Structure 1
């Protein structure tokens, strides 16, 4: 009996507690609803005040920025000339580089040296003489023999003219004389091959030999005497295979010299290699450049090959072009009533170079391109502008 009474009391307490919780919950919800209505009423009043202030400001200052408009910068579009370049690294080269070799094909000890590094030389100028003492030592005995043979021939011929002796004696004396003369000629030719001359005119760019040393033309350290003709220069570059159809003889190029404050030299491609290198998948080009004493063979140069150009086109900053599922688009500013809005325009793009891209269609001269603040714009959004001057 006592346990039943206790159970009844517990149930009664729980029921009372639940009822109070429900009442508290209903009271809290009603409070929130009331608070929401109050805020909405205040918001309406604030919006009315804002509208009135906007109207008053517009009447007082027609140029004032519209409240809630997104601030952007615009660029008036104008036609321009557009060019695309293939940028590569190349080097300056001399079309005439001569490596001096010993005329006898074997070389010899340098007896005298007549050229110094950096000196200008002419074609045929004597650069060095090799030791020819042993060769010339062979000539003197032969000259003595030749003098004797000539005397014998004259005496034999004189006797033959007087009817003394035989024709065979005359012929033998003449043959001996001519043989000795030819031997002397051969040795003299060998001696002349000990004189080293310049094969071409230019600058003795490298002289890596001294008197008393062996001159053979080239050693493991490189050529001993090198002559460079800087009056006939060219630039060479390796072009990737995928540009094969865009580079041809006659293509205009710009040669930029980083070591000379990015000085630019204009030139034209005059050689396009016909064979693709299987290792690098590239081909070589060459372009003649004017004579310039400040240019050095193997000097690094940046090459810009003009492979596309168009006149009177629309070219815009590359970064303002965006993409979606329908293609490429940009935003321009248009007037809508008394407001300025962002207008989304689909465009067809062409080539791009540096920070510009060519627009084939979709934009026209005079339109106001949004160049700053275009991120997160939507079509028809109210905007306020700050003009950007076109690049000169």
Structure 2
């Protein structure tokens, strides 16, 4: 009798069904929100205007009025070339014009006089015609002199080199005092427009209908540029819009070139830089969004584990859109609790224990080289 009492007191308590076998999992809620879709590509930053500043006449470079790296506006004076010879030619052409105009004035007075005298046969018809020819000749001479003045003024304007665009001055190739020639290939320096700026990129030819739709849309398609060109999204450098697509597809690569334009007041985009682009191609309104780790792939379709009380059920879902950050699915409801970690041990009806804290990080010693 004593032994029976002791056994009843000391026997282990039976395990609660479903408690010891509960599988620890982590869950995520289904969110409903507007989700933009993006297509990715690697692009090269290009200046919309980059001009090599070259002389248009031969001459000595007398002054450089800008420094390397300086920002200039369109029409700003950049440099001057010795203009003394051209000014002398202009003065000579001006003097010749004055001489021709004086001779023309005298000839026209005589022509009027001969015309009156010819009525009474005071002068012969031949004399009148010769005077008329002289007037025409002096008019042509005066026009030639005026053309010489205009040409000299054009040449004189070339002695002042002005910026054709607004932008940033590059590295200087020539110093003051050098003799410049129009055939010099390098030029003085470049002026490159930085703001706004463009990015050129390529996409598969299958994207042509999408790009055409974006170009024709009244709202310009959003394009984001990120630092780096390794395919990973890094730091955001700027937001712009799709501006044009090329007029032909490259038959060798099956790709289509396109351009996006960016406001670049902060100068974070620089000509020649490689960047990662994300082009917004669509906007899914009221989409059901889950983390990528939630969706599992079965033999025939995708599915998720939905928490129901302390158990889970398998729910087939349709994949609408996916990227590295999120998946858009159909087949569940907003607010549903779906398993995001621990699915490998689950099956429909499994008992689960929802964990709230993130797993502790395991410290490992650094390996020595």
TM-score norm. by structure 2 comes to 0.69
Q: Is 1:287 aligned with 2:265?
A: no
Cα distance in 1 between the residues matched to 2:138 and 2:150? 19
Match of residue 54 from structure 1: 15
Match of residue 201 from structure 2: 237
1:156 offset after TM fit, Å? 7.2
Q: Within 5 A, what are the aligned runs for 1:119-268?
A: 119-132=70-83, 168=130, 171=134, 174=138, 178=142, 181-182=145-146, 184-185=148-149, 188-189=152-153, 191-192=155-156, 194-195=158-159, 196-211=161-176, 212-216=178-182, 219=185, 222-247=186-211, 248-249=214-215, 250-257=220-227, 262-263=235-236, 265-268=238-241
Decide whether the 8 Å contact of 2:86 with 2:155 is kept in 1. Answer: yes
Q: Report the 3-state secondary structure (helix = DSSP H, G, I; strand = E; otherwise coil) of the residue aligned with 2:260.
A: strand
Match of residue 74 from structure 1: 27
1:351 offset after TM fit, Å? 0.7
TM-score norm. by structure 1 comes to 0.66
Cα 1:284–1:380 change in 2 (3 A) is same
Cα 1:217–1:124 change in 2 (3 A) is farther
Q: Report the 3-state secondary structure (helix = DSSP H, G, I; strand = E; otherwise coil) of the residue aligned with 2:155.
A: helix
Decide whether the 8 Å contact of 1:96 with 1:232 is kept in 2. Answer: no
Q: Report the 3-state secondary structure (helix = DSSP H, G, I; strand = E; otherwise coil) of the residue aligned with 1:191.
A: helix
Decide whether the 8 Å contact of 2:29 with 2:290 is kept in 1. Answer: no
Say which of 43, 47, 50 aligns to 1:94.
47
1:148-182 deviation digits (Å, cap 9, x = unpaired):
7677677777888898x966479278369637734
For structure 1, the residue ranges without an aligned partner over 5 or more in a row are 1-44, 59-64
Q: Report the 3-state secondary structure (helix = DSSP H, G, I; strand = E; otherwise coil) of the residue aligned with 1:318.
A: coil
Decide whether the 8 Å contact of 1:149 with 1:176 is kept in 2. Answer: no
Cα distance in 2 between the residues matched to 1:198 and 1:235? 24
Q: Report the 3-state secondary structure (helix = DSSP H, G, I; strand = E; otherwise coil) of the residue aligned with 2:340.
A: strand
Say which of 340, 355, 358 aligns to 1:371.
340
Decide whether the 8 Å contact of 2:55 with 2:180 is kept in 1. Answer: no
1:184 offset after TM fit, Å? 4.3
1:322-357 deviation digits (Å, cap 9, x = unpaired):
23333222222324xxxx333222221111012321
Tell me which structure has the larger Cα radius of gyration.
1
Match of residue 282 from structure 2: 308
Cα 1:179–1:304 change in 2 (3 A) is closer
For structure 2, the residue ranges without an aligned partner over 5 or more in a row are 1-6, 115-122, 359-369
Cα 1:242–1:218 change in 2 (3 A) is farther
1:76 offset after TM fit, Å? 3.5
Cα 1:324–1:289 change in 2 (3 A) is closer
May I ask how many residue pairs the two structures share in their alignment?
323
Cα distance in 2 between the residues matched to 1:280 and 1:244? 14
Q: Is 1:350 aligned with 2:320?
A: yes
1:203 offset after TM fit, Å? 3.2
Decide whether the 8 Å contact of 1:233 with 1:290 is kept in 2. Answer: yes
Cα 1:180–1:91 change in 2 (3 A) is closer
Q: CA RMSD in A?
A: 4.0
Cα distance in 1 between the residues matched to 2:92 and 2:283? 78
Cα 1:343–1:98 change in 2 (3 A) is same
1:132 offset after TM fit, Å? 5.0
1:301-333 deviation digits (Å, cap 9, x = unpaired):
332111233233322232333233332222223
1:80 offset after TM fit, Å? 3.4
1:372 offset after TM fit, Å? 1.9
Decide whether the 8 Å contact of 2:89 with 2:152 is kept in 1. Answer: no
Cα distance in 2 between the residues matched to 1:140 and 1:365? 86
